[in-house]
Amino acid sequence: MSTHFFGDTAVLLGRSMRHIFRSVDTIITTAITPIALLLLFVYVLGGAIETGTDNYVNYLLPGIMLIAIASGIAYTAFRLFTDMKSGIFERFHSMPIARSSVLWAHVLTSVVANLLSVIIIVLVGLLMGFRSSSGPLEWLAVAGILALFTLALTWVAVIAGLTASTVEGASAFSYPLIFLPFISSAFVPTETTPGPVRWFAENQPVTAIVNTIQHLFAGQPVGSDIWIALAWCVGILVLAYVFAMAVYRHKIT
């Protein structure tokens, strides 16, 4: 059964990725707004922001990457919604394939597409002066955290795509997620924010993830932030996966 599942997922993943590469503008569109924010904050607002670092691009880039991922998962919900409405799910389910492979193909497509968007943003960051003293292991750790974050949010997107009644509703859920980095340590240190805002910023998942990536890029010890970040990502992933699969089973029965 596991071989059957992996084979079916690989075939459906290939189908989804062909759609992505035929419309590369999806990836570019996902990256445009985060890149615009990167340019705005570095070249317009950066001089007035005190972060305790000489290179604001280095400080800002991790948060911009998370914004790109939060934006990108809206497309996953959109693709899932349109597949549901077009009846293609029913056609897939009439074939001898593992039913969960249909969802996993969408999820893995999201991970690949969003990581491609992140690569574009990192390249722009390098042109703007981003520099990192970290080695291959630190970069691999950053990629792993971003992939896990994407995976967790993508299963949230699956829930939205399965339960939405309109195409606008399928993607609108991502708006609060896009704004989370603005109330975190992504743009300014949390110590500079007022009491209630600081408490929220220091106890939401984006801050731990941003702090971890910032330290990895700087080649510094990550401390407890990495465990908090992993706990948030895994917790969201497990809860979203369980709920998404329950909704999916209800939809297809």
Q: Which residue from 98, 87, 105, 83 is spatially nearest to 16, judged by alpha carbons? A: 105
In tens, the pLDDT along 24-46 reads 666 677 788 889 999 998 888 76
pLDDT at position 15 is 67
pLDDT at position 1 is 43
| Secondary structure of residue 224 in the 3-state scheme | coil
d(CA 155, CA 245): 9
Q: Which residue from 93, 221, 240 is spatially nearest to 158, judged by alpha carbons? A: 240
Residue 99 contacts residue 6 (beta carbons within 8 Å): no
Largest CA distance in the chain: 60
Other beta carbons within 10 Å of 123: 13
Q: Structure tokens of 40?
A: 């705005």
pLDDT at position 102 is 74
